[in-house]
Amino acid sequence: MKEKKEPSAPADAELFRQALGDVTPLAPSNRVSPSAPPRRPKVQSAAPSPPLADTLSDHCADDVPLTEFLRDGMSRMTLRKLRRGQFPLQDSLDLHGLNSDEARKLLLEFLREATQRSLRCVCVIHGKGWQEGGGEGILKTRTRHWLTQCAEVLAFCEAPPNAGGGGAVLVLLKSM
């Protein structure tokens, strides 16, 4: 069997240039390319950060979770903008599969890091967690109750269906 002889690389380049012939390149566009959402850097500091004080309470967490929350003194227009997606989503936290204590600690950590990184809008995914008898999930109810207790949370609302629907909340944080 005969092997086909491949043309050398310079010959290929010359053939390509000849094939293009009278083609003119497109003018550069004035569009901005989308950037990827910021990732949490894994920074190892010399001094360990102080442990978080667990100030969140499960007391008075109703069986029916809140669908939205707005801190006193905030405009209803802020909540409307959050619901409509006018604040770009900058990070998210997934609490699936965690028990209540683990979820509470992770939520506190996440909110502290988000405020240190000057993030404004984050998504907390807690899942729907349907219970027998048609009740809402415990983690769904408690997560939303904890968010109302955090001073850095200005508002939250249920995420749109494409971002988790009733199993997630969009959270607006104070700007630093």
pLDDT band at residue 12 under the 50/70/90 scheme? confident
Tell me the CA distances in angstroms from 82 to 6, 23, 48, 70, 157, one per residue in order. 60, 48, 34, 11, 7
What backbone phi and psi angles, to 5 degrees, belong to 156?
-150, 155
pLDDT above 70 as % of the chain: 74
As beta bridge partners, residue 69 has 156
Handedness of CA 149, 155, 157, 162 (dihedral sign): negative
Domains and CATH numbers, the chain: 77-173 (3.30.1370.110)
Whether 58 shows a pLDDT value over 80: the answer reads: no
What backbone phi and psi angles, to 5 degrees, belong to 115?
-70, -35
Report, as an integer, the average pLDDT of 40-55.
53
- The sheet carrying 121-125 orders its strands as 68-70, 153-158, 168-173, 121-125, 91-94
Contact present, 168 and 82 (Cβ < 8 Å): no
pLDDT band at residue 47 under the 50/70/90 scheme? very low
pLDDT at 69: 92
Contact present, 104 and 59 (Cβ < 8 Å): no
Q: Give me the chain's average pLDDT, please.
A: 81
- Cα(145)–Cα(68) distance, integer angstroms: 11
The upper half-sphere exposure of residue 152, i.e. CA atoms within 13 Å in the direction of its Cβ, equals 21
